[in-house]
A and B are shown apart, each in its own frame.
Chain A
Amino acid sequence: MKQTLHIFKKDARRHWPEILISLLLLGLYVKVTLHGANDRTIDSIGGSFPWALLSEQSIPLLMILFWVFFTVRLVHGETLVGDRQWWISKPYQWWKLLGAKLLFLLVFVCLPLFIAQLYFLRHAGFPIFPNLIRVGHMQLDLGLTLFLPSIVLASLTKSLGQALLGVVTLFIGLMLMVSLFEKIPSFGMSSAAEGIGDACSTLFMAAVIGAGGWQYARRRTWASRGLLVATAVVIIVIMTLTPYAKFVEKKYPLVDSSQAPARIAPAALNPSTKKGISEERFLPDIYLRVPFAVSDIALGHVVLLEGIKFNVETPDGSKWDPGWKRESTEMWTEDQQKVVLLEMKRKQFERMNLQTAQLHIELALAEFAEKEPREILLREREFFDPQLGICHWDEKDPSQIECLRPFAYPSLMATFDPAKSQCKAEERGNLIPEDKVSHVWFAPHDENSVEAGLNPIVNYSVRFGSRSWQASFQGNARPRLRVVYLCPGANVRLAKPELVRHIRVHLEMSGVRLLDLARNESDWD
């Protein structure tokens, strides 16, 4: 411990300017988070440019980038790469050196942030002590996602230039990986292969910790770099060879459509007189617009379309089977039709578009039911709800309830029925009040989880109708938008979503021309 503190003190003496800059950025971050960037504080710093760049979005980014730079500088104080450094033949003990660097980050970066996070909680009106552990959890997440990779990056590089090159290489590598994964059939539904994803994450984290630890303990730079590259290769191989379709089929067992939580059938298509699709010819992809008729969803339930598999066969033997695609479409009791957009390569489309094709469609569905449903009365003033957090409604944006909540969004099914409320709204310009039931859906998650980030307070909106705004076309009249109007005294039904089951249904469409499915601007409602 003595040696750790000794190195710590040396680093503190060396890096005091960086410590000051970090604290200044944190102070600015607290200021803009609580009061916005356009107040006198920023103005008083001096002029507009470059201070105009300081905003709620740019300051956290600037602060994080500075922390990465700071961590790299700190670790490079005792560079681990090379054999010419003065300190490597001195009686440093590697774990004490590493401990000193971690202690430094803990004291000068994490602790001030921790205090700021507690201040955010208190300022928002939430108690500090019951939330201490979850703030600690946020810090741990930040440590694992930001400081650990920065330490490992610095431990495997000799200079800031090399570290920057490392970041660029990593970025290019990630881009290549993403473009490779996009080509893997059914990769869009990789979330169905939960075990594989967890295993790869664990493997990656173990490799990062292992490479950093190994480098500190033995200074075997190329071996440590090799460990990271080898792990990346193993992960790519695992991700590439995983049979995602099998995992989807296992997670979503096939049921007969009569047992499905909703009656879903292909909707009738208007035959097109088109002989080809001409618009946007320069685009490499065509969007197929597949409408489904939806009915018989139980009250208090929502059915999520989480994935779709679309297989096309034409009489000339041509086939198109892109595998499972990720979807995110909600189907509520009141819904009658839903449309799914599918991307198809133009060349493929042009080979098949005029033929009558057989379409085999599989839908991966998740059914959720309301748990502990209750109704709340919307108030004119700020109110606290144990599920939503601290919320208020603002008549300037009457469709939504704005809320603050510590650590994460709630899992939520919310319903607003205008017929049951006394909210009177008049048509204003092109806005007309929505008279149908509206819903809000926040996917269920572990209630004790924390969102990754710096601020423990999540600022979110429960916005009704955002998905169902409609424009109607009446001759040459301007489109009119349907808007949900909430008001004080309105009844809003809240519930936690509870998973009922995952299922898969199979649908067939015969004698369909892909041309009739191709997106056309005039097809939109």
Chain B
Amino acid sequence: MTASIHAEGLSKRFRNVSALDHLNLEVQEGAVHALVGPNGAGKTTAIKIFMNLITATSGQAQVLGMDSRTIRGKFYTQIGYVSENQELPEWMKVGALLEYLREFYPTWDIELETSLVKQFELPRQRKIKGLSRGMKMKLALASALAFHPRLIVLDEPFGGLDPLVRDQLIEGLLERAGEATVFLSSHDLAEIESFASHVSYLEEGKLRFSEEMTSLAARFREVEITLDKEQRLPSPLPESWLQAKAAGGVVRFVESRFEEERTAAEIQRLFGDVKGVDYRAMTLRAIFLALARRAEQV
């Protein structure tokens, strides 16, 4: 499989602040790849570098095989980019903007445009200035999907939207996902979980991990050990155990490299025979909270 986005040692500094620190990332073609992380992690910075909206301090990225620094003009006919803080031409009407954009894209699909306008319930005759934030996002997404882009890049597309609009956006996106690579940033983990095929976690400008959702879900478990008697946590604990706590003869932690046999052996080594062990699958949100809390402790 080829990569739609490939970043190597990408760094960006704003004066003394490091927004992105040697990011290495690969987004596979056809994937729905989510870039997640807390606010200020560097997600938007990374996306803007990929889109050649800002320049990297060092490192380089390739987008659809093109050096991101040379992306301009016609190349954007292959990329649909939507950002939560994009400034739309407020003086234009919805219909006029879509008509205006048609001429820029040889692959613009008027039927698809009509269908998206209907699906997103966009009022063609209304000025963009008078649209709600959700409506503006839907318009931006419609204008980014109607020309069958090879790559759809969305920067925090769901931020601050009501659940209904979010569902509409995700639905619209998923219908196109088969024909394009989708790369999106978000801290709204619940929505990502439902449709992302890959996830990368960015924290303080550094990529903590990047992998398929299935493998991520498989390697994280909430573990609860019931002991015969109350005891303190042994030291040192394995590095893969996060947020370990002991109380009233029960030890709880998050295992970040879960393999049932290996984890059981570690428990045996540290606690001896125990009354019982419970492994629970985690939501993406729980996984990231665990990771974020570990980062705070570090």
Q: Which residues of A contact B (CB under 8 A)?
A: 2-3, 6, 10, 13-14, 77, 82-94
Contact = CB atoms under 8 A, between A and B. Distances in A.
A85 B103 contact: no
A89 B51 contact: yes
Given A2-B103, A83-B54, A89 B77 contact: no
Looking at A2, A77, A93, which has the most chain B CB atoms within 10 Å of its CB?
A: A93
A91 B104 contact: yes
Contacts of A3: 103-104
Contact of A92 (B73, B83, B87): B73
Contacts of A10: 100
B53 A86 contact: no
A91 B77 contact: yes
Given A89-B79, A90-B101, A94-B73, A84 B87 contact: yes
A431 B184 CA distance: 88
Given A10-B100, A91-B104, A91-B105, A86 B89 contact: yes
A89 B104 contact: no
Nearest to B128: A86
A88 B54 CA distance: 11
B157 to A, nearest CB: 14
Contact of B86 (A84, A91, A92, A94): A84
B88 A86 contact: yes
Interface string B70-82: 0011111101010
Contacts of B87: 82, 84-86
Nearest to A9: B100
A91 B91 contact: no
A522 to B, nearest CB: 67
A90 B89 CA distance: 13
A3 B104 CA distance: 7
A75 to B, nearest CB: 14
A86 B86 contact: yes
Contacts of A85: 86-87
7 contacts: A3-B104, A14-B91, A77-B89, A83-B48, A84-B85, A85-B86, A91-B104
A94 B101 CA distance: 16
Question: For A14, A84, A87, A90, which residue has the most chain B Cβ atoms within 10 angstroms?
Answer: A90
Nearest to B48: A83
Given A6-B103, A83-B54, A91 B74 contact: yes
Interface residues of B, number: 27
Contacts of B89: 77, 86-87
Nearest to B55: A220
Contacts of B54: 83
Identify whether the interface residues of A are mostly helix, strand, loop, or mixed: helix
A443 B73 CA distance: 52
Given A2-B103, A84-B87, A86-B86, A91 B81 contact: no
B170 to A, nearest CB: 21
Contacts of B77: 91
A86 B92 CA distance: 12
A77 B100 CA distance: 14
Contact of A89 (B53, B85, B91, B103): B53
A174 B86 CA distance: 37
A94 B100 CA distance: 17
B118 to A, nearest CB: 22
B86 A93 contact: no
A464 B203 CA distance: 83
Contacts of A87: 89
- Output the residue of B74, B77, B87 with the most chain A CB within 10 A: B87
B181 to A, nearest CB: 16
**Which of B72, B75, B79, B96 neighbours the largest number of chain A CB atoms within 10 Å of its CB?**
B72
A92 B89 CA distance: 15
Nearest to B91: A14
A425 B86 CA distance: 78
Interface string B44-82: 000010010110000000000000000011111101010
Contacts of A82: 87
A94 B103 contact: no
Contacts of B53: 83, 88-89
A301 B46 CA distance: 75
Interface string B95-116: 0100011011100000000000
A504 to B, nearest CB: 56
Given A2-B103, A10-B100, A14-B91, A93 B74 contact: yes
A89 B76 contact: yes
The residue in B77, B85, B104 that gathers the most chain A C-beta atoms within 10 A of its C-beta is B104
Closest A-B pairs by Cβ, 5 of them = A89-B81, A83-B53, A91-B76, A93-B73, A91-B77
A91 B89 CA distance: 16
Contacts of B72: 94
A87 B92 CA distance: 13
Nearest to B85: A84
A92 B83 CA distance: 18
A6 B183 CA distance: 31
A30 B101 CA distance: 40
Nearest to B101: A90
Q: Among B54, B74, B88, B103, find the residue whose CB has the most chain A CB atoms closer than 10 A.
A: B103
Interface string B181-200: 00000000000000000000
Nearest to B74: A91
Q: Of A86, A92, A93, which is in contact with the most chain B CB atoms at under 10 Å from its CB? A: A86
B103 A90 contact: no
Nearest to A97: B73
Contacts of B81: 89
A480 B21 CA distance: 86
A127 B92 CA distance: 46
B129 to A, nearest CB: 13
A84 B53 CA distance: 8
Contacts of A88: 53
B19 to A, nearest CB: 13
A347 to B, nearest CB: 48
B108 to A, nearest CB: 11
Given A10-B100, A93-B74, 9 more contacts: A13-B96, A77-B89, A84-B85, A86-B86, A86-B89, A89-B51, A90-B104, A92-B76, A94-B72
B48 A90 contact: no
Interface string B160-179: 00000000000000000000
A88 B75 CA distance: 12
